[in-house]
Structures are given as structure tokens and as C-alpha cells.
Amino acid sequence: MNTFIPKGIKENKKINEGLSITILRKRLFAIILAVAFLFLCVLGRLFYVQVIWGEDLQQKAIDQWTREIPIVASRGKIVDVNGVVLADNDDTYTVFVRKKAVSDVEILANALSKTLELEYDYVYNRLTTTVSSEVTIKKQVPKEQISELLKQEFSGVYYSRDNSRVYPYNEFLTSVLGFTSTDGKGQSGLELYYDKYLSGINGEILYETDIVGVEIDGGKASYIPATNGLNIKLTVDYDVQQLCEVAMEEAMEIHNAKSAQMIVIDPNTSAIRALCCKPSYNLNEPPRDDLSSLNALSRNGLVCDIYEPGSTFKVLTAAANVEEYLQGNKSAFSPNHIYNSSRYRYIDGQKVKCWSDHKNGKHASLTLQGGLNNSCNPIFVDIAMALGKQTMYKYIELFNYGSVTGLDFNGEAQGMVLPVSAVQNVDLARIAFGQTIAVTGLQLAAATAAAINGGKYYTPYLVSQIYSEDGIIAETVNPKLKNRVISEKASNIVNQMLEAVVAEGSGKHAYIEGYRVAGKTGTAQKYENGIIAAGKYVSSFVGYFPANAPKYLALVIIDEPKGEYYGSTVAAPYARSVFEGIIKVKNLAPSA
């Protein structure tokens, strides 16, 4: 018997069956997607672990099953221009302990404290309370103590060479060389400025150990050698520096001065031959426990501090006038011009006077040569007023005042020069003879060199060469000409005038029989809280020789000498003593 099924029911059944198949297919597709996603996740994780994270995991595995002994790179040496070693290294070591490899902590602590001259409690606490599995006990241990420990054959005790800096000449070139930290990193001076060259790259020795850090018998060791630091050769000459050290020490003692500083440069290149700042300290025993004192004694005053130069600045004013005269500037004075004999000038209602004292208010009529010989302020006031502030500031900029010189040294000051827009006539008048302007000793030495070497300004520098321990030269530093300040003819005229200052003027205390010495004295009052500090002066002298072919230029600055304070009698004699020493050690023949 056939069962009759209505047409509508048949169609609904087919629809339902189609829906079931569709849902099943979707579920199956979703399952396949989920499986594929999980597979991709696992595959991605494997890729991340093996490729991206693999190196890190491998390093962790190596760390778990190996222990390393660092090989500290030997710090590069610092030598003078002739190869005299000024900064070297001593053979010292670091002692460290792997705590889990120690068999008896008390016995080891007792032995280490006695041999290394440490407190027992300190060593014991380091071995028992520190979280790290590897403990540094002491650095910079001399090899005699290491030999004593090696004889006792303690397990878990290891040794590595470290960097112990040594300065063979103690209190010598202190503010230039600088010092290093106990970890051998440069902290000041050239040690800091050239640290990336001097430091080198450390190496290490890897030993196979068990999980607690005990070395495996027969385990292999891997050796990664250290790359020692590069050596640097200075422009400084040990002989000249030694002469300056002695002279400035004497100046401090005789004049009971606050400080005594001296820089010697080659005026033809601005290579620094000596740079001495007193007081100083022993580089092998820096006062690390007194940071204030350490920072003060480490500061290089000739590079980082500024002062009013006084009459030594008149070299610039004279050079500017001579150059402008040669160029046909009608405002400039002839070198033979005779200036007003009055010892006063009134600028904007303010009196500017000469340092000399005459009852009649006048002194002899002088030319520019006489003005330099007698350091007469009014003559230089006349020059500045005639040239005008735009021209004067042109030369201030050409001689690099108000800007850093570019010395290879940290912390160089740029000086203090009033903006030209703010300069009043009375300011310009005082700038002409070295007031209302502040400079560094380095700036003044380099500027004076440019005035007398033919008119060329060279960037001062301290390092002439960087080279490896096997003699391969990494870098050679050559003199760098920055700009021309005056013509060669103007320079020759200024040179002759400054030679006469020493031969017959205020610089006579720098005169050396048979040798052509030139220079200019300076005496400046000091200011405190904007007013003149009574009885406080800066005495200075800048000079050079031989005047006909300058080779050594020196600047001496004595700060706050007690008693006599004129640069001619306080500073000039020390330049002469250093020049005489150079003549002797370099065996220089008298001038023709």
C-alpha cells in the first residue's frame, strides 16, 4: 500500500537535508581552520624558538653549563712627543669566588682576608649573604698576593687580570692626563676624552661546569682574546713640561698665590708643548674620598676657566690697528703716530686712566711702540675709538675670542664677549686694554701665536698620533689652519714691536742675553660681586722666542700673588726661566 506524502512535505524534507549538509560542511571547515591555525601557531612557535629566540636560548644554556673568567684588555699607553711613557699599566688581578664550588666558607674567608688584607667579616658576608653566585672579592691585587693564594689551591677561587693604571711621574701633567676609575674607565682629562681608543675590548675564557658551577674534570675551555687599547702620542714635550712644573711650583711658593698656570705652544702649529696648572695632586693617589677637592684639582684652568687678560690683550688691539693702517683705513694710526700725552681719556663721562702715576698728570708723548713698552692704556683707547666697535669686533672674532678653540679636551670654555649690539663706547675703550672681556689662557696663547707667526690661526691640539701596540698607526693628527687674522707684513711689524717690549720695555725681566725674546706683560684687577676686589690681581706674561723665527710661545698666569703683583715682575721671570731651560735641554744656539 503506497503512502501518500504531500508535495509540500517532500520539499521541506529536501530543504532540511540540504541545511544539514551545509551546517556539517561549515563545521568541518571550521574544524579544519582551527586545526590549521593551531598547526600554524605551533609552527610559528617552533620558528620563533629555533630561529629568533634560538641564539638567546643557546646563550642561556651556555651560561648554565659554563663559567667565564674575564680577560681585561690592557689600557693604551699615553706617551709624550718623544715616546716618554706618561701613563702605563701595572700587572694586577681581580679575585672572585664561585660560592657553590667552595668546600669550606670559613677557612676560605680567613685565608682571603689575611692574604688580601681585608676584614674577615667583610669577606665572610660577601661569601654567605650576597645573592649572586659569583662574588668579586677584591680588584687590583698585586701578583705577589695572587701567588700566595695559588699555593693554597682553594676550590671555587678564580683570578683574572684587571687594569691598574700607573703614572710614572706622579704629580706631572695632572690636569691634562686626568685619571681613571677603579674599573679602568677614563674619568677626566685625556683619559676621558680618548677613552674609546684607550679602553680596548675585553675577552674571556669559558670553562665547562656542572649545574652548580663546579668545573668539570676534562672539560673544554674556550678562549676569546682581548683587544688591547690603542696608544696615544701627545704633542707635549716631557722636558718642557718638567721645566713648567718646577717653575709654577716655585711661583706658588714664593708669591703665596692662589694658583699658577703656564702653557707653552709651538706658535707655528699651536701644538701644545706643555700645560701646567698648580696646585695639583698625585695621579697615583687621587683624593677619591673628597670629590669637591678632586674636581677642583682636576680642573684645567687654562682651558676651562676665564679671566680678564689685562694688557696682554693689547697685542690684538695693536695688530688690528697695524693691519687696518696697511689696508688703507684712514681711521687707523700709523705705527709712527705720536699719541696725546695725557694719561687720561674721558669716554661717555667716565675717566679711563693709564696705570702709571705722574704728578703733572702727563707722561711722555709715545708712539704705538712706546705704548706697548710702557703698557699705556690711553693709547689703546684711542685706537679702539678710532677703529670703532664693528672693526674691533671683526678682529675679536678673527682671533677666535668668544668661541672655543676646538682643542681635543672636554669642558673648554668659550670666554665672555659682550654682544656688539650691547657695547657702549666706554666698554669698547676698556676692551682695548683687556678689561670688560674674559678669555681662557688657551685662547690668549693661540691668538698671540697667530699675531706673530705670520698671521695664521691654528687650532690648538694635544694628541698627534693614535697607534696600536705593534706600531700600526690608526690616526695622525696634523696642524689645522683655521683662518688668517692679519697679513704677514702686519705680523712682522707686531713681532718687532713685541721684541722691543722685552729688550727695552716692561717685559725686560724676560730678557735673555744673546737670544731674541719678545712678549707682553699684563696686570688685571679681579672683580667679586661686580666690584673690584681690593688687593686681588692676576699677573701674566705672554712671550716667545726666537723673535725672528718663533718656536716656543709661553703664557704665564699667576692668580692673586701676595705682595708684588705686576705681571712684569711676577710672571715674566718664570717665562724667562723656562726659556733658559729649553735653551739648555734643547742645546739651542744664540740668535744671530
What DSSP line would sit under 443-480, residue for residue?
HHHHHHHHHHTTSEEE--BSEEEEE-TTS-EEEEPPP-
What percentage of the chain carries pLDDT values higher than 70? Answer: 88
Q: Are 162 and 140 in contact, with CB atoms under 8 Å apart? A: yes
β-bridge pairing 134-142 and 157-166: unpaired
Q: At what angle do helices 389-398 and 314-326 cross, to 10 degrees?
A: 110
- Taking residues 169-198, report their average pLDDT: 94
- CATH number for the segment(s) 70-230: 3.90.1310.10
pLDDT tens figures, 292-350 = 999 999 999 999 999 999 999 999 999 999 999 999 999 999 999 999 888 889 998 88
- Taking residues 424-449, report their average pLDDT: 96
* Residue tagged active-site, from 74, 259, 311, 577: 311
Q: What is the pLDDT of residue 299?
A: 95
Q: Residue 65: is its pLDDT beyond 50?
A: no
Q: Are 191 and 87 in contact, with CB atoms under 8 Å apart? A: yes
φ, ψ at 81 (rounded to 5°):
-65, -20
Alpha-carbon distance of 591 to 545, in angstroms, equals: 10
Q: Residue 361: is its pLDDT beyond 90?
A: no
Q: What is the pLDDT of residue 415?
A: 96
Q: Is 20 a catalytic residue?
A: no
CA atoms within 13 A on the CB side of 591: 16
How many Å is the maximal CA-CA distance in the chain? 159
| More reliable by pLDDT, 218 or 230 | 230
Q: How far is CA 356 from CA 347, 383, 518, in A?
A: 19, 19, 22
pLDDT tens figures, 470-494 = 999 999 999 999 999 999 999 999 9
Q: Decide: residue 457, CB within 10 A, 0-12 exposed, 13-18 middle, 19+ buried.
A: buried
Instruction: Report the sign of the C-alpha dihedral through residues 418, 424, 430, 431, in that order.
Output: positive
pLDDT tens figures, 248-305 = 999 999 999 999 999 999 999 999 999 999 999 999 999 988 989 999 999 999 999 9
Q: pTM here? A: 0.84
Q: Which listed CATH number (3.40.50.11900, 3.40.50.720, 1.20.1530.20, 3.40.710.10) goes with 238-285+292-585?
A: 3.40.710.10
pLDDT tens figures, 113-144 = 999 999 999 988 988 888 777 788 898 898 88
Alpha-carbon distance of 592 to 525, in angstroms, equals: 39
